[in-house]
Amino acid sequence: LSSKITVIKGKMEEVKLPVDHVDIIISECMGYFLHYESMLDSVLWARDKYLVKGGKMLPDRATMYIAAVEDGKYKAEKKNFWSDIYSTDMSCLAPTVLREPLVDVVPSEHIVSSSSKILELNLCTMKPSDVEFVAGYQLTCNYKDKVHGVVGWFDTEFADLKNPVMLSTSPYNKKTHWKQTIFYSQWDMQVFKGDTLHGSIACRKSLKNFRELDIKISYHIDNDSNKKDFATMYKLR
């Protein structure tokens, strides 16, 4: 297809295009937890410089969600691993290890609550700064169980098409390269059916490395077994 397609290799911000404007921008700008690696920055730069008024962005929408997760077995393995490293007790490292989110496929049966939307982006109109956000969340627990943290995922829509398409990284759908992102909480929480787990989540680019993410999640649960209110800092790298 060389007679129809011209390939220009290079960084978006540095290459020189043979045209002043384009009608469509197609990108794969999604990282883990949507924002990891900050690839969306280059796409928005290209949009503002080259896209004609009324042009198409594909994808053009992105939405993020979280839900409560039961994953006690793996969380315990992750913590207990450090208690005996070649006969040396290094358990003091366990809290630090839990502050690094795990990117993995989460079986849907490990989700123990409703989901909560934490961010909705319109890629056609958003500002680059919109990727840094603070949002509240509220999750209704489906069963009597232990909550070991929250899991995050995203959907991206190709809405402005004759036949719209949705790419979902939800644990309820077919697994993808992006998997899901698990944030293990500092403490486990006993919950009962109908209980509400709520709090806030804040996400920003790391000040030391703009491709990494600093994330803070607060947790609040209040029932007959728990009266917990705490927050945990995470770094996705």
Between the alpha carbon of residue 143 and those of residues 153, 193, 195, 202, the distances in Å are: 21, 4, 9, 27
- The sheet carrying 196-205 orders its strands as 133-140, 196-205, 213-222, 227-236
Q: What's the CA gap between 83 and 90, in Å, rounded?
A: 5
| Active-site option among 13, 14, 28, 109 | 28
Q: Which helix (H) or strand (E) holds 77?
A: helix 72-80
Known catalytic membership, residue 37 = yes
Q: Which helix (H) or strand (E) holds 180?
A: strand 180-191
Q: What's the CA gap between 62 and 166, in Å, rounded?
A: 10
Known catalytic membership, residue 70 = no
119 and 135 in contact (C-beta within 8 Å)?
yes
Q: Which helix (H) or strand (E) holds 63?
A: strand 61-69
| Active-site option among 13, 37, 70, 157 | 37
Between the alpha carbon of residue 108 and those of residues 69, 141, 179, 192, 221, the distances in Å are: 9, 14, 12, 19, 22
Between the alpha carbon of residue 58 and those of residues 34, 62, 64, 72, 157, the distances in Å are: 15, 11, 17, 39, 8
Active site residues: 28, 37
